Each structure stands twice: as C-alpha cells, then as structure tokens.
Copies of this chain bind each other. A is one copy, B any other.
Amino acid sequence: MPMATQDTPNRLLDLAQDLVQERGFNAFSYKDLAGAIGIKTASVHYHFPVKEDLGAALITRYRDRLDAALAEIDRGARSGKSKLRRFIQLYRDTEACGAICACGSLAADRETLPAAMQDGVEDYFSRAEQWIAKTISDGVRAGEFELAGPPTEAATTLLAGLQGGLILSRARPGRQTLEVVQRNFFRTLEPS
C-alpha cells in the first residue's frame, strides 16, 4: 500500500471522523479541522461549503468502507464463525482506541442533524444488520450454527450489543466490554 500524502478533502474527512467518534458531530468546529492540518477555516469551507456537506461525505465514506470491509471478510474467511469474529473485531479495534462507532455517535445526535445525514446513518445500520443476518443464516443452513430464534433477531441483538458495548467501554475506560459481548453472542450460536 503506497499511502502517499493524502489530498486535503480526505485529510479533513479523516480528522472529522476521528472527532465524531471521540466528541460528536456538534462538538468540533471547522477551526479544529483547519488548525490540525495548518490551513484556515475559510479553506475548509472551500472543500465543504457547509458542515452538512462534510457530515454527509463522512457518512458516505464510512458506509463505503463498511461495505468494503464486509466484502473483504466474505472473500477471505471460510467459516461463519471466523467471518463474524472478524466483523466484531472491527468494533473491538474501535473500542481499543477509546472511540465509539461514528454512526452510533451520529445516531445519538440524530435530532440535531440534517435529514441527509440521518438517512445515511440509518442505511449504515441496516447494511451491517443484514450482513450479520445473512452470515448467521448461511451458517445455520450449513449446520455450523444452531440458534433458538430467527437469525435476523440474533443480528439485531449483536449489532445493539456492539454499539452499546462501545458506549459502556467509553464510560468505563479499560474494560473490554466487547470481548464479553462477543463471547455471549457465540454462546447463542453453538449447536447443543
């Protein structure tokens, strides 16, 4: 991976995403972004005229990266369990940074956000949930998993556990909440 110096819009999106995950969309300013990369706020407005543009671009990119990560997992992993483990690992990486999911943060701020951003957040959760449900469902058909309820409900429960687990770890730094959530989740999939 070459990873040359990024263009300004992407550097701004990187910074904005970090700040969303650490402080929330309403708790950072163009000044924060500008200062971090050594330009002025007016220059940030050149790339993203209003903050809603920045937010919408951030969500689109975040969602695209989720899609890419899920495709990568589907390409690489063999068993349903290893796929789900890799998926959960994405959130555990976030937890390790002391951050929360960008879309979880944005969902908490929902009432204060423009409609376009609200829709993007909704879409992110739906994609994640559907991927989990499909992966569980495939595992059940293959005889790898056995669960009491419908796969869609297990998927919703896992996603809720991951989002809430990040919140709990944020409130109580040092705890590995997601490790516990993961363990409990896999217990519900075990064949008896």
Contact = CB atoms under 8 A, between A and B. Distances in A.
A70 interface: no
A162 B156 CA distance: 11
Contacts of A154: 184
A100 B108 contact: yes
Contacts of A111: 22-23, 27
Given A112-B27, A154-B184, A156-B177, A125 B161 contact: no
Contacts of A23: 109, 111-112
Nearest to A166: B164
Contacts of A188: 184, 187-188
Interface residues of A, number: 49
Interface stretch (A34-42, A77-85, A167-175): A167-175
A51 interface: no
B168 A107 contact: yes
A160 B187 contact: no
A171 B24 contact: no
A102 B27 CA distance: 17
A137 to B, nearest CB: 15
A148 interface: yes
Interface of A: 22-24, 26-27, 100, 103-105, 107-112, 118, 121-122, 125-126, 148-149, 153-154, 156-157, 159-168, 170-172, 177, 180-181, 183-185, 187-188, 190, 192
13 contacts: A23-B109, A100-B108, A107-B167, A108-B167, A110-B170, A118-B171, A156-B181, A160-B181, A163-B164, A164-B165, A184-B188, A187-B188, A192-B192
Given A24-B108, A108-B170, 12 more contacts: A24-B26, A104-B164, A156-B165, A156-B184, A157-B180, A157-B184, A159-B164, A160-B160, A160-B177, A164-B164, A167-B167, A187-B188
